[in-house]
A and B are shown apart, each in its own frame.
Chain A
Amino acid sequence: MVYLTRKAEFSASHYYHNPEFTPEENRRIFGKCNNPNGHGHNYTLEVTVKGEVDPRSGFVVDLKQLKEILNREVLDAMDHRFLNKEVPEFSTRIPTTENLAIAIWQRLDQKLNAARLHRVRVYETPDLFVDFYGEV
């Protein structure tokens, strides 16, 4: 079993707000992240897939295809976007980095065929990241 990790970067804005909370609760729980005009991050995404090495090609997965899937499913949809308003998953879920990792997992898991998805890691800032392994 070999694990392959591909990195990508994207930049997006978001804010945290739960309509079920009062304005005071939203401010208290989410702090600066509750600013309705949003704020942005440079996100670093690491996608790890796993599989046996194909004896003919020496590959676990075709990196070109993986890059195309990442570009299409994640970067095209999220790079330079306002996550709350432009990415459908976040019309009902708060675009925390936790939920972002889950949304990215769900987008990729349906599209990968040769190798299996092992981990999605999303860095919100260089000193904070979230790992999701698919178990909800």
Chain B
Amino acid sequence: MFSASHRLHSDAMSDAENAGTYGKCNNPYGHGHNYALEITVSGPVDERTGMVCNLVDLDDFVQSEILERFDHQNLNTLREFADAVPTTENLCTAAYEILQRSFRHAHLEKVRIEETMLNSFEYAGGAENAT
């Protein structure tokens, strides 16, 4: 779980287009969410440990590379969103890419982010194999 603020605004659109596309989310002062992040990894069960992946390794990685990066931040100010609107679609792909680049303890399957109780987003890389 992490909490962050954002404003949805695209420099490629006029003010009217931005207001029409993003509605309340275009408020220049931004607004925030409590995001719930779910990461799915896969792999064979290690015969010695009985684990697919040591959860401590996963927790440590998520803490240091994702939560410390995004928690209590304004997403618009971060490098990942210098050229991309901080929608939860793009947040999902950004978190996936951080894991894909550096997490080595198990195979990354999927990143899922709940923006609110009603809306959630999933990214499993380019393939159409998520459920």
Contacts and interface: CB of A to CB of B under 8 A. Distances in A.
Interface of A: 1-8, 48, 50, 53, 55-60, 62-64, 119
**Is chain B's binding surface mostly helix, strand, loop or mixed?**
loop
A59 B87 contact: yes
Contact of B10 (A56, A62, A64): A56
Given A5-B122, A7-B117, A8-B118, A57 B87 contact: yes
Interface in B33-57: none
A55 B84 CA distance: 7
Contact of B122 (A3, A8, A57): A3
B87 A6 contact: no
A3 B110 CA distance: 11
Contacts of B126: 1
25 contacts: A1-B126, A1-B130, A2-B92, A5-B120, A5-B121, A6-B118, A6-B119, A7-B118, A7-B120, A48-B122, A50-B128, A50-B130, A53-B87, A53-B93, A57-B87, A58-B8, A58-B10, A58-B84, A58-B85, A58-B89, A59-B21, A59-B87, A59-B89, A60-B89, A60-B121
Interface string B87-104: 101101100000000000
Most B-side CB within 10 Å, residue of A2, A5, A6, A56: A2
B64 interface: no
